[in-house]
A and B are shown apart, each in its own frame.
Chain A
Amino acid sequence: MRHRLMKKKNVIQFFGFFALRGCLYLVLAVLLLFLYDIGKKGGGAVSWEFLTKAPRKGMTEGGIFPAIFGTFLVTLITAIMAIPLGTFAAIYLNEYARQTRLTRLIRLSIRNLSGVPSIVYGLFGVILFVNIFKFGTSLLSAGLTLGLMTLPWTITAGEEALKTVPNSYREGALALGATKWQSIRTNVLPYALPGMLTGTVLGLARAAGETAPIMFTGAAFSLPFLPKSLKDQFMALPYHLYVMATQHHDILKARPLAYGTALVLIVFVLGINMAAIILRYRLRRKRR
């Protein structure tokens, strides 16, 4: 009797673990399918001309250089807007601010703001940058909108990294007569830097792949020229993919180009991701 119970238990465990492994294989299979499909069909479309030329013949031929360039520029503006402000705010919140109920509330709202839908940031960008500040639909409006969206992520990432610094590091410096800033500069920041950088760069990668916030603040359907100033509209990879996949007048003819765009976008975004992870690895090793 006891023996049989034992056996039944083991059989259930066998099938249970089997099912769990099945879940893992399923997820890996989906990811593989995604990457394979885009890699294979996108790889066929990508060529030197595709990467360096503008679209031709109603976007059924030619390349996507303006979109690559536009995404690069808008990500740059995002970085300029979000990184310094976010990092300094994180330093203030974690190192200077007294831990009161108010700072807890602020921290809570910042964390929650990082979960606000990107299209809501798009709406906000339309009101504030396009209409109130009169930047129009432009590179500047789109970059600032993405910057706002990235801000909560940078603050949260900065704070997470600062939190991992042991308090003894700060106290050690202070005990030797260092001022607050000296202790932060020499003991806290070097330790927290890899984490802060990775978190920030990951946030930028996410921003670079976003479509909803730039759709109404500056991204253009198709432009024959590159943006010359911050007030110009621009083409961007994510929006270009959306257009090629759903808005194009001859969708099937545009499909190979859409695949190519998807591949370039994925490489761009995952490339930034990878750079962040390698950077963290390097910095950590150097510290040791």
Chain B
Amino acid sequence: MTKRRLRNIKESALKAFFFANGIIAILVLLGIFALLFFSAVPAFREIRLKEFFTSITWDPTSPVKAEYGILSMIVSTLLVTIGALVIALPIGLGVAAYLSDVAHWRVREIVKPIVEILAGIPSVVIGFLGIVLFSPFIAKVFGRSNGLNAINGSLLLAVMALPTIISISEDSLNAVPPAYSEASLALGGSRWQTLIRVKIPAALSGIIAAVMLGMGRAIGETMTVLMATGNARAFPHGLLDSVRTMTSNIAIELGEVPYYTPHYYALFAIGLVLFIMTFCVNLVADIFLKKYQEREL
């Protein structure tokens, strides 16, 4: 009888232990959002919300009048991100379709880990390659004095988004029920027609999820864009302009800003905007991911 009681105590203790760990982990993670929020709020005692989001001038250290508009940075971030997706989506989807529908399974077994190597390269190394490899190339092609601009960042972010897009798109193409493609083939469709008109539309929710995840990663990527896009503060007018994204701006200024000044809080406000943007993008990705996983079952 005592043995059983001892065992029960041990069970409850273990359960409590795991419960405590779960709670701590969750509290810590939710605490991130709360702390970030409360560090960003003081910024808006000095800065009007409207100015923050609609002004294109960011000049917090101006001796005349400090200005805190982040519109240029938001546009720069979106410009670089969308550029990256425009490059990465067709290529990534192409690779995914090749792996799922054309390639021999042995090729797939070899290629998948290789693509994972690409995902494992640290972002600072990718940024370095942007400086030493892509920048001279872009400078030559477009006849510029240097190649540190938005297109460079887009190319690098495309490389970084590719592994995500390839692996999730391939999974979702493989998850299309065989009956779909069998029906199409039986009706006389070629394998290409089946792929384009049946399988890709059927796998669409997974593909959208892949793109959204790639987008979330591109928006939040810091080192690559910091090193490769030139970091000019001006409002960007095209892919050949030097741009400063939200992430780069935080990285550049956080090291020098005096603590507890409006400028300091404003950097946290940018961080909060970033957090919310990526959270929303990831949430949408999650919804689409759920959609195709549910169908799979």
Contacts and interface: CB of A to CB of B under 8 A. Distances in A.
Interface residues of A, number: 85
B279 A24 contact: no
A172 B117 CA distance: 39
A228 to B, nearest CB: 24
B122 A269 contact: yes
A88 to B, nearest CB: 4
Given A112-B279, A112-B283, A112-B286, A27 B91 contact: yes
A97 interface: yes
A86 to B, nearest CB: 7
B97 A20 contact: yes
A269 B90 CA distance: 29
Contacts, number: 248
Interface string B117-135: 1101111111111011100
B11 A38 contact: no
Interface in B123-172: 123-129, 131-133, 159, 162, 166
Interface string A108-133: 11111101111111111011100100
Contacts of B282: 111-112, 115
A119 B274 contact: yes
A253 B121 CA distance: 25
B185 interface: no
Interface residues of B, number: 88
Contact of B102 (A21, A121, A179): A21
Interface in B82-103: 90-92, 94-95, 97-99, 102-103
Contacts of A255: 132
Interface of B: 7, 10-11, 14-15, 17-19, 21-22, 24-26, 28-32, 35-36, 39, 90-92, 94-95, 97-99, 102-103, 111, 113-118, 120-129, 131-133, 159, 162, 166, 190-193, 195-196, 213, 216-217, 219-223, 226-227, 247, 250-251, 254-255, 259, 267-268, 271, 274-275, 278-279, 281-283, 285-286
13 contacts: A10-B190, A22-B94, A34-B133, A91-B18, A96-B18, A110-B26, A116-B275, A117-B222, A127-B35, A209-B120, A211-B123, A245-B227, A273-B116
